[in-house]
């Protein structure tokens, strides 16, 4: 167990040297974006709607932001939401399930020639099948 702990600590120390960490974070009301200042001097900004747990949050809830001791996490205590900086830098702003649901919702709204053609073809076949209410089997006494 101690070996795994030491390996994890060594990995964290290496990441801290190799990757930028958060040194400051704020919600910019004018921009409507979360702005995180990195240890390398760069600022990154993203709209709260793009991150899991921050969508639909009020400006007041986004104002209080805490940076984790490692600098790899940004916490929004009023929302009990977290953003992991290494994932953010890779463009990942939520869990796989959350991202998949967002992508599915966006795909359902797509208006393409292929989707319109498929809808017409389906319509020619009678459209979507009607839902059939299945009769319950009842035991007769």
Give per-residue pLDDT as tens, 25-84.
999 999 999 999 999 999 999 999 988 899 999 999 999 999 999 899 999 999 999 999
pLDDT over 90 (residue 17): no
2-94 placed in CATH 3.30.2020.40:
yes
pLDDT band, very low/low/confident/very high, at 9 (cuts 50, 70, 90): confident
Q: What is the dihedral of CA 61, 64, 67, 72, to 10 degrees?
A: 20
> 100-110 burial string, b = 16+ CB within 10 Å, else e?
eebeeeeeeee
- Distance from C-alpha of 35 to C-alpha of 45, rounded to nearest angstrom: 4
pLDDT value, residue 139: 58
Element (H, E) at 23: strand 22-28
Q: Domain extents for the chain?
A: 2-94, 95-127
């Amino acid at each position: 167990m101690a070996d795994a702990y030491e390996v994890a600590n060594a990995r964290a120390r290496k990441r801290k040297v190799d990757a930028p960490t958060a040194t400051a974070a704020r919600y910019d009301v004018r921009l409507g974006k979360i702005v995180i200042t990195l240890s390398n001097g760069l600022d990154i900004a993203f709209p709260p709607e793009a991150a899991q747990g921050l969508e639909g949050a009020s400006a007041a809830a986004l104002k209080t932001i805490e940076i984790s001791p490692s600098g790899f996490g940004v916490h929004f205590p009023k929302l009990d939401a977290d953003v992991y900086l290494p994932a953010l830098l890779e463009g990942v702003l939520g869990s796989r399930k959350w991202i998949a649901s967002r992508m599915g919702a966006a795909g359902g709204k797509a208006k393409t020639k292929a989707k319109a053609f498929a809808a017409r073809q389906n319509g020619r076949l009678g459209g979507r099948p009607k839902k059939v209410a299945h009769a319950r089997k009842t035991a007769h006494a």
